[in-house]
Chains A and B, each alone.
Chain A
Amino acid sequence: MPKKLPPVDVVMVGFGWTAAILGQELTDAGLKVLALERGGWRDTSTDFAVSFVQDELRYYYRRELFEEPARETLTFRNNPSETALPMRHLGSFLPATGVGGAGIHWNGQTWRFLPSDFLARSHNEQRYGPLPADMTVQDWGVTYEELEPYYDKFEYLCGISGKAGNLQGKIQPGGNPFEGPRARDYPNPPLDMVYGPTLFEAAAKETGHHPFPCPAANMSRPYTNPLGVQLAPCSYCGFCEKFGCGNYSKSSAQTTILPVLMRKKNFELRTESEVLRVLHDPRARRATGVAYIDTQGEEYEQPAEMVIMCAYATHNPHLLMLSAIGTQYDARTGQGTLGKNYAYQIVSGVDVFFDDKILNPFVGAGALGIGIDNYNGDNFDHSGLGFIGGGYIACWDTNGRPIGFHPTPKGTPKWGSEWKKAVAKNYLTTATISTHGSVMSHRNNYLDLDPTYRDIHGRPLMRMTFDYTDNEHKMSDYLTDRAAEIGKAMKPREIHAKKRKGHYDIVPYQTTHNTGGTIMGADPKTSVVNRYLQHWDVDNLFVMGACVFPQNAGYNPTGTVGALTYWAAEAIKTKYLKNPGPLVQA
C-alpha cells in the first residue's frame, strides 16, 4: 500500500526551469508548494566547481549530468511501418535528471519566437494558400503580443546579454531587425566578440544580410536580477553546453531563483522522488495528486489541489499517457490529441577553413556568436520555394573542446597520419556556421506508448515516431545554401557545407529541443492544453515546457518555455486561484 502523505496546495512534477519559476510565483501568492524531483540536489560550488567541471569526457561523453537510459528511455522509429527499438544510450538529445534539469547544461541561447510563429497555420495560409493535408500545423492560441511582457520577465530574470532590434516598433541598428517589438532592451549588453563571428558578421553584411549579436544567458557583466540574485561575468572558458557553469555566469534555476525560493517556508523540495503517475478521479476530470517512489522502491501518494507537470518535454506526455489522462492521438484517424505533433529541430553546418586566420576556438561561450534572421519563420518570401518555416544562421563560438571539435576538410580520412595532420592544421583556423531550422508538425510524427519495452518500474516506455519531411529537407537545404554563400564571402581557403540528408537519426547529437505531444491551442479537439497551459479535461492540471509547442520554430526553445511559464503562472495567480475551474470554455 502506498503511504498517503499530508496534502499540499500545489505539487510540481520535476524541478528544473519551469518548476523553479512556478515555485517562486506560486509561493509568492501564498500557496504551499511541493516539488518532486527524481534526481538529486545539485549546486554550483559543490557540483560544478571550476576546479573540475572543465572535463569534456566526464560530463559530455560519459553523460554525467544527463538522464540514464538504464532507468528511463524511449523507443524510436522513423515511421509507423517500422518496429520501434529502444534508444539504448543518449545521442540526438540530452534530457537531464536532478535539480535544475536540462537548464543546468544548456548553452544559454535565449530567443523569442516571431509574431508569425504563433500563427503558423493562419499566417501561412493567408499568405501562401492551403497547407498540405498531412501538415498538422496549428496556431498556438496565444500571440506574441500577449507573451511579450513574459519574455521580458524571463530575460530580466536571466540577465540576457544582447542588443534589441525592435524597440516598441522602432528598428534599432545593430540588433535583429526581424524580431517582434519589445518593450525595452536586454538587461545586459552583448558579450565581447571573438574573431570568427566578426568575420561572419562582415561577410553577412557584404552579402546583404542583417547580422546581430545572438542573445545569450552568459553574463556580459556582473548582474543582479529582480529577485536580488547575483550572477558573475562570463570568463569565456568554453564549457557551457553539457556542463554546469562553475562561475555563476550562466542563467539556470540555481543561479537565478533557488537562493530565494529554497529559503521559503511554504516551499518544499523532495529529491530522489520519482513520480510514477498523476492520480485522478475515476472519470479523469480532476487530478487528486501524484504517486511517487523513493530510492528504496517505497511508494507514496501525495494529495494536492493542483498538479503541474514540470518534467522534460518528453516526460510530461509520457506521464499523462501512463496516467490515462486525455485521449491518445491515433495517426491513422487523426483523432485524439495526446502525443500529437511531436517535433524537433533540423540543423546543418558549414565549416569554413582558413589558412592564415587564428581563431582560438577554445575562447568561447555557449551563446557567443553573430546570427542572421533573414531566413527565419516568414521573414522572407516563400513563394515558389516549396516549404514553409525557416531558421537562423549563426556563427557561434561555443567551444573548442577537442574530443568534439577537431574539424577536417571534406575528403580527409577519419584516422591515420593524414587525419592527424588535418586535425593539427585546422584546429585553430576553422569557423563553423550553423543553421537552426524549424520543424513543422506532420500527421505521422507523434508519441504513444510502446507495446514491448518497459522501464525499471515496469511501465511501458514512450514510443517516438519521427522523421523529417520534404518540407524540412527543402527548408534546411535552402538555409545551408545561404550559409555556404556567406561562408564563401568570408574568403576562406575552402568550405565544407554539410547538408542534412536522409532520415532523422537518433544517434548523433543534434539538439535537446524536443517539442509537442501535449500541445496548446484554442480547441480541445485539436490540443491537450488551452492557451494558459491548463489541461482541457482536467482543470486543476497544468502542463509546462516545450511539449506544449504545436510545432517547432527556428529558434532554441528556452526563451519561449520561460515566457509561457510566466504567462501560465500569471493566469493561475490572477484567474484560477480566484475562481478555480476551466480558464477557457471548451
Chain B
Amino acid sequence: MTDSKLNRRQILSVGVLVGSTVALDGAHARSISGEVPWQPAQADAPTIVTPGPLQFFSPAEKDFIDAAISRLIPKDDLGPGAKEADVTVFLDRQMAGPYGKGAHWYMQGPWKKGEKTQGYQSRLSPAEMYRAAIKAIDAHCKEKFAGKPFAQLDQGQQDQLLHGLEKGEIELKGADGKTFFKLLLQNTVEGFFSDPIHGGNRDMVGWKLIGFPGARYDYRPYVKMHGKKLNLPPVGIKGRPDWTPS
C-alpha cells in the first residue's frame, strides 16, 4: 500500500536535491529540500555600537546636536536628558550607517513635494538631511542673533527656534526645517529609549525614567500581579551595567 505512494514520491523527486542545501548549478540562489537547514553557532546577532570618536558629525554639527537634543529631552529634576544618555553618539552612528544613507529607502526620482499623506519625498537621505538642515539652521541663527550659531543661543531662544521649525514657520535655505525637526525628534526619542547596544540610553536612563524593565524574556510570574509596581531593574541585550566587573 505505502510502497506505491513512496514510489510515486521517489519518481517525483528526481531532479530535486535531496538532503542538501546548495546553490543551484551555477546560480546565486539557494535550494533547500529534504532537511531543515541548520548551522551550529550561526545566529543573526546584532551590531553593537562601540565607543570612540564621532564617525559622522563634524565638531560644529556635534555642538548643534548636543544643544538641540538637550532641549528636546532636557536634563531636569526627573534625571538625565538625551545628551546625558549619549543620544549624540546614537545619532552619529545612525547617520554613519545604513539608516543615515537611506540604504533601504526608495530614492529614485522624479522628485515632487507631494501631499502630506504621501510622506517623505525629499531627495536627501536622513544623513544628508541632517547635514543640510544643521548648516541652514546655524546660518539662520547667525544672521538673526549677531553671528551666534544655535548652540550658543540661550535656552529660551533655542526653544523658540525649535518651535518655529516644528510648526514650519522658519524658512531655511537648502533644507525643509519641518521635515528635519520631525526626523530629529523621532531619532532622539529612539536614541533615548532604544537598547544601549545602539549607543544611546546610557545606563538605561530612558528605561529607568518610565519603569520599563528592558529586554526581558519571561514575565509569566508577573501576569496576575494586577496593580503591583514590580520595580524590576532594567536589563539590556548586553546585560546590566552592574553585571560587568569594572
Question: Interface residues, chain A, CB within 8 Å of chain B?
Answer: 6, 9, 30-32, 40-41, 43, 45-47, 49-52, 54-58, 61-63, 68-70, 73, 76-78, 82-89, 91, 192-195, 198, 233, 235-238, 246-247, 258-259, 262-273, 294-296, 298, 300, 357-360, 362-363, 400-403, 406, 414-417, 419-421, 423-424, 427-428, 452-454, 503-507
| A295 x B28 contact (CB < 8 A) | yes
Q: Which 9 A-B pairs have the closest CB atoms?
A: A54-B215, A57-B194, A427-B210, A296-B28, A195-B226, A294-B29, A32-B12, A235-B218, A69-B106
Q: Is B107 an interface residue (CB 8 A)?
A: yes
- Known: A56-B195, A415-B73. Is A238-B219 also a contact (CB below 8 A)? yes
| A362 x B193 contact (CB < 8 A) | no
| B119 x A87 contact (CB < 8 A) | yes
Interface residues of B in 88-109 (CB under 8 A from A): 99, 102-108
Question: In angstroms, how far is the closest chain B Cβ from the Cβ of A458?
Answer: 11
| A507 x B119 contact (CB < 8 A) | yes
| B219 x A415 contact (CB < 8 A) | no
Q: Is B217 an interface residue (CB 8 A)?
A: yes
Q: Is B15 an interface residue (CB 8 A)?
A: yes
Q: Is B53 an interface residue (CB 8 A)?
A: no
Q: How far is the CA of A287 from the CA of B117 in the complex (A)?
A: 38
Q: Is B1 an interface residue (CB 8 A)?
A: no
Interface residues of B in 1-53 (CB under 8 A from A): 5, 8-10, 12-13, 15-18, 24, 26-39, 42-46
Closest-by-CB residue of B relative to A198 is B226
Q: Is B151 an interface residue (CB 8 A)?
A: no
**Residue in B10, B36, B81, B210 with the greatest tally of chain A CB atoms within 10 Å:** B210
Residues of B contacting A507 in the complex (Cβ-Cβ under 8 angstroms): 117, 119-120
Question: In angstroms, how far is the closest chain A Cβ from the Cβ of B146?
Answer: 25
| A263 x B34 contact (CB < 8 A) | yes
Q: How far is the CA of A456 from the CA of B227 in the complex (A)?
A: 52
| A270 x B72 contact (CB < 8 A) | no
Interface size on B, residues (CB 8 A): 90
Closest-by-CB residue of A relative to B184 is A415
Q: Pick the residue among A268, A424, A452, A504 that contacts B17 (CB under 8 A).
A: A268
**Residue in B10, B116, B212, B237 with the greatest tally of chain A CB atoms within 10 Å:** B212
| B120 x A89 contact (CB < 8 A) | yes
Q: Is B164 an interface residue (CB 8 A)?
A: no
- Known: A88-B107, A358-B227, A400-B212. Is A77-B118 also a contact (CB below 8 A)? yes
| A259 x B44 contact (CB < 8 A) | no
Residues of A contacting B24 in the complex (Cβ-Cβ under 8 angstroms): 270, 294
Question: In angstroms, how far is the closest chain B Cβ from the Cβ of A359?
Answer: 8
Residues of A contacting B12 in the complex (Cβ-Cβ under 8 angstroms): 9, 30-32, 266
A-B contact pairs, 14 of them (CB 8 A): A43-B37, A52-B237, A54-B195, A55-B46, A55-B197, A57-B194, A247-B217, A262-B32, A262-B34, A266-B9, A266-B16, A294-B24, A298-B26, A417-B76
| B237 x A51 contact (CB < 8 A) | yes
Q: Is B112 an interface residue (CB 8 A)?
A: yes
Residues of B contacting A416 in the complex (Cβ-Cβ under 8 angstroms): 71-72, 74, 159
Question: In angstroms, how far is the closest chain B Cβ from the Cβ of A54?
Answer: 4
Question: In angstroms, how far is the closest chain A Cβ from the Cβ of B228?
Answer: 6
- Known: A32-B16, A76-B118, A236-B223. Is A58-B46 also a contact (CB below 8 A)? yes
| B18 x A265 contact (CB < 8 A) | yes
Q: Pick the residue among B13, B119, B216 that contacts A266 (CB under 8 A).
A: B13
Residues of B contacting A265 in the complex (Cβ-Cβ under 8 angstroms): 9-10, 13, 16, 18, 33-34
Q: How far is the CA of A278 from the CA of B80 in the complex (A)?
A: 57
Q: How far is the CA of A61 from the CA of B190 in the complex (A)?
A: 8
| A503 x B117 contact (CB < 8 A) | yes
**Residue in B34, B116, B119, B230 with the greatest tally of chain A CB atoms within 10 Å:** B119
Q: How far is the CA of A359 from the CA of B226 in the complex (A)?
A: 7
Q: Mark B198-212, 1 if CB is under 8 A from A, else 0.
A: 100000001101111
Q: Is B242 an interface residue (CB 8 A)?
A: no
Residues of A contacting B71 in the complex (Cβ-Cβ under 8 angstroms): 415-416
| B119 x A506 contact (CB < 8 A) | yes
Question: In angstroms, how far is the closest chain A Cβ from the Cβ of B140?
Answer: 20
Residues of A contacting B78 in the complex (Cβ-Cβ under 8 angstroms): 417, 420-421, 424
| B105 x A70 contact (CB < 8 A) | yes
Residues of B contacting A295 in the complex (Cβ-Cβ under 8 angstroms): 28-29
Residues of A contacting B198 in the complex (Cβ-Cβ under 8 angstroms): 57-58
Question: In angstroms, how far is the closest chain B Cβ from the Cβ of A11?
Answer: 13
Residues of A contacting B35 in the complex (Cβ-Cβ under 8 angstroms): 262-263
Q: How far is the CA of A358 from the CA of B32 in the complex (A)?
A: 49
- Known: A415-B71, A507-B117. Is A236-B219 also a contact (CB below 8 A)? yes
Question: In angstroms, how far is the closest chain A Cβ from the Cβ of B16?
Answer: 5
Question: In angstroms, how far is the closest chain B Cβ from the Cβ of A77?
Answer: 7
Identify 9 new A-B residue pairs, CB closer than 8 A, beyond the known A57-B190, A265-B33, A295-B29. A41-B30, A52-B46, A88-B107, A233-B220, A262-B36, A363-B222, A403-B194, A416-B74, A420-B209
Residues of A contacting B76 in the complex (Cβ-Cβ under 8 angstroms): 417, 420
Q: Pick the residue among A50, A236, A262, A272 that contacts B29 (CB under 8 A).
A: A272
Closest-by-CB residue of B relative to A83 is B112
| B33 x A47 contact (CB < 8 A) | no
Question: In angstroms, how far is the closest chain B Cβ from the Cβ of A501?
Answer: 12
Residues of B contacting A91 in the complex (Cβ-Cβ under 8 angstroms): 119
Q: How far is the CA of A237 from the CA of B223 in the complex (A)?
A: 10
Residues of B contacting A417 in the complex (Cβ-Cβ under 8 angstroms): 74, 76, 78
Residues of A contacting B189 in the complex (Cβ-Cβ under 8 angstroms): 403, 406
Residues of A contacting B218 in the complex (Cβ-Cβ under 8 angstroms): 235-237
Question: In angstroms, how far is the closest chain A Cβ from the Cβ of B96?
Answer: 14
| B194 x A56 contact (CB < 8 A) | yes
Q: How far is the CA of A87 from the CA of B108 in the complex (A)?
A: 11
Residues of A contacting B103 in the complex (Cβ-Cβ under 8 angstroms): 70
| A54 x B115 contact (CB < 8 A) | no
